[in-house]
Amino acid sequence: MTTAQHKIGSGFGATTTAAEVLGGIDLTGKLAIVTGGYSGIGLETTRALADAGAHVVVPARRRATAEEALRGFENVEIDELDLGDLESVRAFAERFLASGRGIDLFIGSAGIMASPETRVGPGWEAQFATNHLGHYALVNRLWPAFRTGARVVSVSSRGHHYGPVRFDDLNFERGYDKWLAYGQAKTANVLFAVHLDKLARDHGIRAFALHPGRILTDLVRHLDRQELVDAGMVDESGRVTGGAKTPEEGAATQVWAATSPQLDGLGGVYLEDCDIAEPAPVDGTRTGVKDYAIDPVLAERLWTVSAELTGVNAF
Ligand SMILES: NC(=O)c1ccc[n+]([C@@H]2O[C@H](COP(=O)([O-])OP(=O)(O)OC[C@H]3O[C@@H](n4cnc5c(N)ncnc54)[C@H](OP(=O)(O)O)[C@@H]3O)[C@@H](O)[C@H]2O)c1
């Protein structure tokens, strides 16, 4: 890590909204790309950034759904992108680069969770491929467009506590477990930010990873009612359980990561509740960041593997 995993006392917290984070911040003239920016916390991220004056590009796997969700939004542009398809990633990046524009904020909010065993591309496990490899390839392909001062935000999860990156069986060929696969992908999201920050900081570009909180969104589309109860998302009667955030609150930490002057000069850290997270306690409580997610050696190893798998490396 380049900076300590310790709270800085931002003055914000779990109930801060994305709009509150942006109070007094004018993003006029800034360009943001928000993957998944048409659903859940991504949608609220798009709304908050656009309301603060940014031009927001939302690459969508389902264009019609994105157009419906973003109808009436000003300063928002929709394009097509399937993160599970590296050809689609390449095509989106080429279209964007051809537009000649620069990127100030990149927020990788798209993701899938606990999906049934699915293979994409050359047999890659879909959660790792979509949540990590797709974003890895996208950021590397877009690299020439990042402006000095830009930030890259990798939306991870407390789910990274489920497990590390399994370098000896990345694709779960020895047996699939949907939660271990989510954990691996979300750990990869953190390691990606750690190593990207190391590579990019000399160019004046910084990277962050984060847990947004627990928010009931379409992310749970692969879970049945009992699994939602078991995961603590809803109670037996289907009501959202205490401690859950609204989507506006869930978007706050990634918007803070992308824009807050409180993070100037920092990078390569994992955030929670609009602050830098503490290290995970040794008693196994699922809070803070696990050592294996911020280990710079593992971060470099994942970068090397990702470059080999995708054939893309901007550095
Ligand atoms: N909600 C939570 O409690 C929670 C907690 C921790 C972390 N997170 C993280 O927060 C992020 C956003 O989650 P959310 O709750 O906002 O979920 P969501 O409402 O399901 O939004 C996810 C977005 O990702 C897009 N997406 C999925 N697969 C894609 C692909 N192959 N290519 C392009 N886009 C794709 C989805 O598009 P389609 O709808 O078209 O598939 C959707 O727009 C995720 O990375 C998740 O892991 C969420």
| Closest CA to ligand 1's atom 36 | 36
C-alpha of residue 92 to centroid of ligand 1, in Å: 18
Q: Are 75 and 37 contacting, i.e. CB atoms less than 8 angstroms apart?
A: no
- Ligand 1 pocket residue status of 212, Cβ below 6 Å: yes
Short-list 200, 162, 194, 199, CA closest to 180: 162
Interacting residues of 208 by C-beta distance below 8 A, sequence separation 6+: 151, 152, 153, 154, 193, 197, 257, 258, 263, 267, 268, 269, 270, 271
C-alpha of residue 295 to centroid of ligand 1, in Å: 25
Residue boundaries of the structural domains of the chain: 18-310
- One-character DSSP codes across 161-213: GG----TT-TT-TT---HHHHHHHHHHHHHHHHHHHHHHHGGGT-EEEEEE--
Q: Mean pLDDT score of the chain, rounded to an integer?
A: 96
C-alpha of residue 215 to centroid of ligand 1, in Å: 11
Confidence of residue 2 (pLDDT cuts 50, 70, 90): very low
Q: What is the pTM of this model?
A: 0.98
- Ligand 1 pocket residue status of 82, Cβ below 6 Å: yes
- Ligand 1 pocket residue status of 58, Cβ below 6 Å: no
Check: CATH 3.40.190.10 for 18-310? no
Half-sphere exposure of 261 (CA within 13 A, CB side): 6
Of 67-81, 167-181, 231-245, which range is least confident?
231-245
Query: CA of 6: how far to CAs of 28, 275, 289, in Å?
Result: 31, 9, 10
> Which residue reads 């935000």 in tokens?
153
d(CA 237, CA 294): 38
Short-list 55, 86, 88, CA closest to 73: 55
Short-list 294, 252, 205, CA closest to 11: 252
Q: Which atom of ligand 1 is nearest to the CA of 245?
A: 3
d(CA 289, CA 222): 25
Q: Are 186 and 294 contacting, i.e. CB atoms less than 8 angstroms apart?
A: no
Mutation test of ligand 1: which of 182, 218, 222, 227 has the most ligand atoms closer than 8 Å to its C-beta?
218
d(CA 205, CA 210): 17
Antiparallel, parallel or unpaired: β 275-276 and 55-60: unpaired
CB count, 10 Å around CB of 71?
A: 8
- Ligand 1 pocket residue status of 163, Cβ below 6 Å: no
Percent of the chain clearing pLDDT 90 (strictly above): 95
Q: What is the mean pLDDT of residues 66-76?
A: 97
Residue 143 predicted with pLDDT over 80: yes
| 251: DSSP letter | T
pLDDT tens, position by position, 98-139:
999 999 999 999 999 999 999 999 999 999 999 999 999 999
Q: What is the mean pLDDT of residues 179-191?
A: 98
C-alpha of residue 114 to centroid of ligand 1, in Å: 12
